[in-house]
Amino acid sequence: MRFFKDRKNVTDPKRPLEGKISSSLQVNIFNIKQVFTLTPNLIFRDIKLLDRQIDGTLVYLQDLADVKKIEKHIIPPLCTGEFDQPPHASIADFKKTSALQETINGLLKGNTILFLQEHNEAYIYNTVGGPSRTIEDSIFETTLKGSHLGFGETTDQNIALLQQFIPSPKLKAAEVKMEGDLNRHVYLVYLEGTAKEEQLAELTKRIKRTNGDQFINIGQLAECIEDNHWSPFPQFRLTERPDQAAIDLFKGKICVVLDRSPSALIAPGSIMSFFQSVDDYTTRWMLASFVRILRFVAVLISIFLPALYISIVSFNYEIIPIRLLITIGESRAEIPFDPLIEALLMEITLEMLREAGIRLPAPVGQTVGIVGGIVIGQAAVEAGIVSNFMVIIVSLTAISSFIIPNYDMSLGIRLMRFPMMIIASLFGIVGIAVGFMTLIGHIVKLESIGSPYGTLLNPIHSSDFKDSLFRFPLWKAGKSKQSSKD
């Protein structure tokens, strides 16, 4: 940034050091104006400390700072109180600095800066306010019995929410500085003694070498620090729920909180964690285990059912009963397309309807999704474009993908459906088997900040089975944990 160098219009005879607070009040104001050009909400308020007749100027960005706090707790004490180093104010959270860049960063956060005549230091008062919203429930991560609190856009608020769920001094929040000029704030929140030191060090190293000017949300940060940029699967879990983040913290994971982002990043990621929900821990263990198994069955249906239909109709029709084969043949008798084109038409139409339902307002989106699917499916069958069986296959596939609780993982699974369909159209069931083995090999090889992504597949540890495909009873997990300590 360019600071004051030319002082033709300044009465102070002393030339200020570049990047330093000057003893001239006019020079400091000029420097701030040079940096914040075309900034209509930049406010300068002149004050005078009456006891020593010292001129001063308060500088803040309106709508980022709390103006009521300034008018109540800063201006009256400064104008009537005693100047006793630092200037008296009823705000305890303040600091003084001689660096001009620090005052600029403070203004951008919503703080108020006090410049004084004949003082080469500025005072930064914490008056952070700005636009904010109330704590609301998560839209994409709904729960039946869990908490109805969601993360906000400020790091202080999000860390406080985690402290509410884990009221322990072992909960640490370490700030990490990123490269760039935007002064983004990233905090690594973890439980001391539970999180692994090597994972903390690796995550800190990756975030430090990331340019904070390149992104504005936590999803972009996750893309910059992930291990494999070509994998269709998310390698970090993003959550809007502080209770879910607290559960992961107890498991030894690390929560990354970024300012102005309503989601937190959970690292390291594992394939099993994306199929777990907060409701798994609010219901009895047998029911939670059943639901988890149902989710994994839904994943297999979502990826392989269209491909299996294509392979059976095109190549391996001998594996289905003759009566069912005749029924399928009759339904496809008038269809002008081969099974792959038929499946692609329906799947792409389904994806467009799904995206349209998300982008439209909630009442309209639900109507478009339901009515559009029924109308288009029925019209396609009557027009002879697709068969009845294909409509059933696509419907089952859509329902299965909705069961997956994590949106990012759901997108990755929906994407894997299309290469499986193409392989099935070329090689039949043999192609599906090869595709399945390739998929398993990719998951086993994948890592998240050095931790194996495919838990239960590689490496195999008995402790991983307690909260993965099944959820063991909490009292049994407690007993085993206690016995291991003994």
- For residue 14, name the pLDDT band (cuts at 50, 70, 90): very low
- CA 347 vs. chain centroid, Å, equals 28
**Residue 401: beta bridge partners?**
none
Q: In what order do the strands lie in the sheet with 237-239?
A: 171-177, 185-191, 254-258, 264-267, 237-239
What per-residue confidence (pLDDT) applies to 226?
Answer: 93
Q: pLDDT by residue (tens digit) across 394-428?
A: 889 988 988 888 889 999 999 999 999 999 999 99
Segment 157-180 shows an average pLDDT of 89
Q: pLDDT by residue (tens digit) across 102-155?
A: 999 899 888 999 999 988 999 999 998 877 777 777 777 888 787 888 898 888
Window from 46-55, 255-264, 390-399 with minimum mean pLDDT: 46-55
Q: pLDDT by residue (tens digit) across 268-301?
A: 998 988 998 888 888 888 888 899 999 999 999 9
What per-residue confidence (pLDDT) applies to 430?
Answer: 93
- List alpha helices for 229-335, DSSP H: 242-250, 285-314, 322-331
Q: What angle do CA 251, 255, 261 make, to 5 degrees?
A: 150
Hey, which of 324-338, 343-357, 430-444 has the most confident mean pLDDT?
430-444
Residues 10/26, Cβ–Cβ less than 8 Å: yes
- What DSSP character marks residue 17? P
pTM: 0.79
For the beta carbon of residue 133, count every other beta carbon within 10 angstroms: 10
- For residue 200, name the pLDDT band (cuts at 50, 70, 90): very high
What per-residue confidence (pLDDT) applies to 214?
Answer: 77
Q: Where are the beta strands (DSSP E) in 179-285?
A: 185-191, 237-239, 254-258, 264-267
Hey, which of 142-151, 338-347, 473-482 has the most confident mean pLDDT?
338-347
Average pLDDT, the chain: 83
